[in-house]
Amino acid sequence: MNSSLTTSTAEAVFVFTGPIFDSQEIDVIGPGRVAVPTHFFKVILVLRPHDRTLHASILPNLDPIPQPLDAFFVSADEVERRTGLGFFSSLDDSAMLQR
């Protein structure tokens, strides 16, 4: 396990996850016509006494996932760009490690 994701020494951990729809045509399933995302994102902020670490990933909605999970690590800025969402905008990016 990536030691920067170990939470036993963390004061707080914030996790956001959600869908990304990267296609012009959105696939739907079932009688309720539920939209099927092309990808999923996850943004994790780990706060420790003397540092903060930000992790982000975007995974394709495939089964099985075709590569090791670390192949899908991206910056939080990339998740923000693809989703239109803002994460932790009140925090100073220069004081935060991104992994």
Per-residue pLDDT at 1: 44
Domains in the chain: how many in total? Answer: 1
Residue 38 resides in a domain: yes
What is the model's pTM? Answer: 0.81
Which residues form the domain of 39? 3-85
Integer Cα distance of 97 and 53 in angstroms: 5
Residue 68 resides in a domain: yes
- Cβ proximity of 80 and 88 under 8 Å: no
Residue 13 resides in a domain: yes
Residue 20 resides in a domain: yes
Per-residue pLDDT at 93: 60
Per-residue pLDDT at 8: 72
The segments of the chain whose pLDDT lies below 50 read 1
Positions of E strands within 1-99: 12-20, 27-29, 34-36, 39-47, 52-60, 97-98
Q: Which helix (H) or strand (E) holds 73?
A: none
